[in-house]
Structure 1
Amino acid sequence: MKAIIGNFKLLAIETENQIKLTHGLLSDFNIDVLEKITAQDDYIDNLKTIVENACFSDIYNMKRSPDMAPLNRIRALHIICVNLERIADFCVNIARQTQYLTSKDFIQKYDYQSMFLEIQQSVSRITRVFDHGNLSQALEICRAEFKLDDLWEHTFNILLRDLKKGDEVTNLVTTIFIFRYLERIGDSILNIGEALIFAIMGDRIKIRQVEALEKTLTESGFKGTLGDIDFASIWGSRSGCRISKVSRKKPSGFQAQGIFKEGKILKIQKERANINQWEKICPGVAPKVFGYYEKYRTASLLVEFLSGCTLDQVFLSESSAVMENAMFVFEQTLTDIWHKTLVSEPCPTDYMFQLMQRFPAICRVHPDFLIFHGPREGSHKTIEDRDLIQACHKIEKGLPAPFSIFIHGDFNTNNIVYNHEDQKIHYIDLYRSRQGDYVQDAAVFLVSNFRVPVFDVELRARLNKVSHHFYNVFHHFAFEQGDLTFNARLSLALARSFLTSTRFELNKEFSGVMCQNARILMERVMAHHGKPWENFPFPGEILHYDNESWRHE
């Protein structure tokens, strides 16, 4: 590590020198300086390669340890060195552009000095910030990119204005290229600043997310600095939001652990409103909101960290007794919410429309799913998936839900938290909550249980047991409410969830089973069209991954 840091510091020194030489070249156009800049480029490339090889070698030889700090520092160093070398390359590109200027005085009309000053100040801080772990100075390095963007935009507009006059076109185009390289140096400085934040905080996070975290923590009543908290990303989210867990390292006025979420403003606004709505419906089922902050097109939310396990973890890793208890508590919570929020008015469904929207994404991952190469039920003809979906879409228009409830909207098993000590169920990730058909939540839950890529016989049997039990729970609720089209709507909702789930599953055999399940369900709906829907024969075995015998009846 000492050798890596030593070469990193040499690389930073040489890069800073390249910046100074390039700055000087624009002032006096000394051919010797141009050659020196070009000659130094190879040395900088070699230093970067030495650091890169050493970083990967150390990572390879590093023993597994719960302390990730050394690994994070190596990863951060690698990112920093790659970007330092890139900055040096941009300096060479700028130097080469000067050969196309017909007059050394021409570029003096434009303010490149301010951009160089910002670049030099930022690069000169890098090693010091790395050594001392100063988060505020790392943020200042990041902010240099914003300043450089503003300077570039201002100068570019002036250059465009001058270009329209039709004079000195070659000099103006060359000057645009030079300023554009200076602006691109800002992008690399931002990468370096964020790598420094990674080395300090132990997680990859962008500057806008750090600023949002600061503001949101302040809104929550937090009185310390970011150095007082632990910050860890929560992986596996496909929502497009940044989701991380934050907690205090030491007493600092922060009352509890929390989940920090940052993303598009409308999405975060909606989640906040839905959390408040859930609190009115069923106090305690949703996490508490600690803080909220908006800026431009993004927003951030700090909510309570809920202790416990998600249901997928319970089903796969807890004892049978704990699993049975979790299923009981979940069933009681779920049916209580459904009864409490039921509105006795018909509710249109759109499962096939949702599927049509996602169909291009499915085909990008599985282009061979486009055509069903086999006879549809009751026929010897093949049918294209798009035609099948369109046909079911028409049928679905005549299958509204007879009532609505306040649904979760993304009812995967990993969005449901079970606290065994408190015997409570909590819902998380509530952006899509709304009044709608309860069958959507039922289908998403069942398919999220099915699509777990686990093929161990005993674990699969547990998952099958869960699916069988909750299908009966959902069916009983439908029976109680006199919902005669439940099985038909569930078939369409399951088809939607089975097929859309294949976007995230590259195992061809497993994704192929889900695709086949979707087709079978849609074809059964088509075959039954025109008959009483209360007599629709729902194939319950389709919820069991390991039982395929019914397909060959």
Structure 2
Amino acid sequence: MSFLLAELDGQLARLVTYFGAPQSAVAAQLIQRAGYSSNLAGRVRKACLAAMLRKKSDEARRLRLQGIDTVARNLDLLSRLGRRAVDQAEKTRKIKLLRADTYVAPLTLVRKTVACIQEALDGQDSRLAVRIGQARGEIDTFHDRLFRTYTRDMAETKHTEDLAYALLALNEVSRMGEALEAISEALLSINIGQTVQFERYFTLRSVLAGVAGDEDDEISLKPLAETRSGSAISSVEMRDRKGRSVAAVFKDGDKRKVKEERVGVKSWNSVYPGLAPEILSYEKNGQSAALLIEHLDGETFEDIVLGGSDAALATAQKALHKTVRDIWRTTLTDEPAQMAAMEQLAKRMKDVIRLHPRLVPGAQTINGVLLPGLPALIDRAQAREAALPAPFSVYIHGDFNLDNVIYDPVAAKIRFIDLHRSRYMDYVQDVSVFMVSNYRLQVLDAATRARIAGVAVAMHEMAEKFARRQKDGTYHYRLALGLARSFASSTRFVVDADHARRMLLRARYILETALAVPEGREARFKLPVKDLFHD
């Protein structure tokens, strides 16, 4: 790495010299150095790969090696961009139109910035790493200014070919800013313990400002999850203003999604205090936003189902059922609710078909009997569902998957996370989502599958008792539509074709069975839930 940085410094010095006074001899010297930087970068990357394969690395070591690999790759890119910029500049015949001397300042900045990389890497200096990334802003400003000049010149001269080559040279220099930002991100990722984008680092610093102590303290991040909507969730370790160790959860992403999460948390804390985590800080920046949320002790329900003892699972289930029943009783209103499960499924079928086109055939004829395609069944079920609203509303989670429920065995308490879809709605929405989030777990051994089925069925049995007490006559029919929706739509997250086929066949069976019930007789319908969840 030291040799690579030294070699690149020499190449950048020649690059500055060339644009200060363009000469073909200097350009040739620069182009002849191509193999040097490429070979050195290759040796660094090869060493990083060998170090990762040689012995089992902890996460910090693996991330550092990946970061060094990224730095080497982008240093080599800087070298290639410089050569390409000179190559395009050499093609201009009327050299005055290139305005070569204007390149000296940004290229000098690139050289000075590259000179900081070794110090930032060795000292794990985040402030210096940030300065490296900030060079992109100055290079972008240079690009925009010179781009306007070139395009203006194009309207005033016949030498458009020369200006076209000049624009290509400008583009290569502009991309140097992107390479420096990528190096900055790699250095910051090494320092905080998780892959991080340049802007995300500032968002993190901003959202921590009201909670953390000394802003010079290093932050430790550990990845927790990547949501399907693109948000990233990480655990954060820091010290508050009193020097105490603080653990929190940092979530950032699209502003609308993060704002919905914030609203959901606040709503739960007013509707059912103590269930949702506390919001420590919130920041928005353009189209993105970030939350710092209280860290919750305990395990996700998914971890308990897959790895906990039978006793631990039984205790957690008892706590969950008790909490859910209490929420339903506490928040129940007389306002009817329309789950619209079939409408949701219809919107998601394109994604299902895109991933599993062979598992969702259209209408078929077997021995003269017409079998409608799944989309046709969904359309028919949607019309039936519209006439069967839930007789009351309760406040629901809205995305009641196993990994959004946390149980703390010490406090014997259930907590909810990922609350951006919470609202007053048919409780069957949560019941069906929870049940299928069990089934779609891609674990194949018989004992674990039986355990998963038991958790799903137990949730149904608890909800069924609640429905009887509330005289909810169409619970079973609405549950069938909710399960059909969740079985089918969940396959867009299941790559295993066999598992996806089982889920889609269950969705089809449920819809065919529900549609066979005469209109007006829905209250007499019952689904064989145990059979559906046992493979």
Instruction: Tell me, yes or no, whether TM beats 0.5.
Output: yes
Q: Is the 8 A contact 2:15 2:107 kept in 1?
A: no
CA distance in 2, matches of 1:160, 1:329: 68
CA distance in 1, matches of 2:126, 2:70: 17
Alignment-derived partner of residue 112 in structure 1: 103
Given candidates 42, 49, 59, the residue that maps to 1:56 is 49
Query: Taking every aligned residue pair, what percent have the same amino acid on both sides?
Result: 28
Greater Cα shift, 392-401 or 35-44: 392-401
1:184/1:51 CA distance change after superposition, 3 Å: same
Equivalence for 1:536: 525
Give 2:334's aligned residue: 344
TM-aligned CA deviation for residue 373 of structure 1: 7.5
Residue 2 (structure 2) pairs with residue 9 (structure 1): yes
> How far, CA to CA, are the matches of 1:495 and 1:118 in structure 2?
60
Contact 1:48 1:85 in 2 (8 A): yes
Cα shift readout 1:6-60 (whole Å, capped 9, x = no counterpart):
xx12112222322222232223221121111211111211112212222111111
Q: 2:427 matched to 1:427?
A: no
1:297-328 Cα offsets, whole Å, 9 max, x none, are 11111011100011111122222222111111
Which runs of structure 2 are paired with 1:502-541 in the superposition (5 Å)? 502-541=491-530
Q: Which one of the candidate residues 292, 307, 312 is aligned to 2:282?
A: 292
Q: Counterpart of 1:132? A: 123
SS at match of 2:115: helix
Q: How has the CA–CA distance of structure 1 residues 226 and 283 changed in structure 2, closer, same or farther, with 3 Å as cutoff?
A: farther
Q: Which moved more, 1:530-539 or 1:111-120?
A: 111-120
Partner of residue 153, structure 1: 144
Aligned partner of residue 102 in structure 2, secondary structure:
coil
Offset at residue 123 of structure 1 (A)? 1.2
| Distance in 2 separating the partners of 1:341 and 1:152 | 58
Distance 1:542 1:434 in 2: 31
Corresponding residue to 2:404 among 415, 418, 423? 415
Q: 2:368, 2:388 → 1: CA distance?
A: 24
CA distance in 1, matches of 2:296, 2:237: 12
Q: Secondary structure at the match of 1:528?
A: coil
State the alpha-carbon separation in 1 of the partners of residues 354 and 101 from structure 2.
Answer: 48
Write the distance in 2 (CA, Å) between the matches of 1:482 and 1:234: 41
Q: Do the aligned residues in 1 keep the contact of 2:439 with 2:533 (CA within 8 Å)? A: yes
Local SS of the residue matching 2:291 = strand
Q: What secondary structure does 1:78 align onto?
A: helix
SS in structure 2 of the partner of residue 257 of structure 1: strand
Separation in structure 2 between the aligned mates of residue 486 and residue 374 of structure 1, nearest angstrom: 32
Q: Which runs of 5+ in 2 are unaligned?
A: none
Does the residue aligned with 1:136 lie in a helix, a strand or coil?
helix
What letter matches 2:225 in structure 1?
W
Distance 1:520 1:226 in 2: 60
Answer whether contact 2:439 2:452 (CA < 8 A) is retained: yes
Question: Residue 284 of structure 2: SS of its match in structure 1?
Answer: strand
Once the two structures are overlaid, the 10-residue window that deviates more, 223-232 or 488-497, is 223-232
Alpha-carbon spacing, 1:57–1:109, altered in 2? closer, same or farther (3 Å): closer
CA distance in 2, matches of 1:34, 1:542: 75
Q: Equivalent residues in 2 for 1:30-109 (5 A)? A: 30-64=23-57, 67-108=58-99
Post-superposition Cα deviations, 1:389-414, rounded to whole Å, max 9, x if no partner, equal 22222222222222211111110011
Say whether 1:25 aligns with 2:14: no
- Compare 513-522 and 162-171 and name the one that shifted more: 162-171
Letter in 1 for 2:274: G
The farther-off stretch of 248-257 and 174-183 is 248-257
RMSD of equivalent CA atoms: 2.1
Segments of 5+ residues of structure 1 without an aligned counterpart are 1-7, 547-553
Distance 1:497 1:27, change over 3 A: same
1:549 maps to none
- 2:472 is aligned with what amino acid? D
Q: What is residue 245 of structure 1 aligned with on the other side? A: 235
Is the contact made by 2:19 and 2:101 (CA closer than 8 Å) also made in structure 1?
Answer: no
Given that 1:100 and 1:170 are in contact with CA atoms closer than 8 Å, whether structure 2 keeps it comes out as: no
Confirm or deny that 1:122 pairs with 2:122: no
- How far apart are residue 110 of structure 1 and its match? 7.6
Alignment match, 1:551? none
Residues 343 and 382, structure 2, Cα contact 8 Å, conserved in 1? yes
Query: In structure 2, what is the equivalent of residue 3 of structure 1?
Result: none
Counterpart of 1:433 in structure 2: which amino acid?
S
Aligned with residue 361 of structure 1, among 326, 351, 363: 351
Which residue matches 1:550?
none
Question: 1:4 aligns to what?
Answer: none
Work out whether residues 136 and 181 of structure 2, in 8 Å CA contact, stay in contact via their aligned partners in 1.
yes
Secondary structure of the residue aligned to 2:388 is coil
1:271 has 2:265 as partner: no
Question: Which segment drifts farther, 279-288 or 451-460?
Answer: 451-460
Give the 3 Å change call, closer, same or farther, for CA 110–257 of structure 1 in structure 2: same
Amino acid at match of 2:415: H
Query: What residue identity is the alignment partner of 1:55?
Result: C
In 2, distance between residues paired with 1:542 and 1:88? 64
Q: Secondary structure at the match of 1:248?
A: strand
Task: Give the CA deviation at 1:471.
Answer: 0.7
1:224 is matched with: 214
**Count of residue pairs the alignment pairs up:** 535
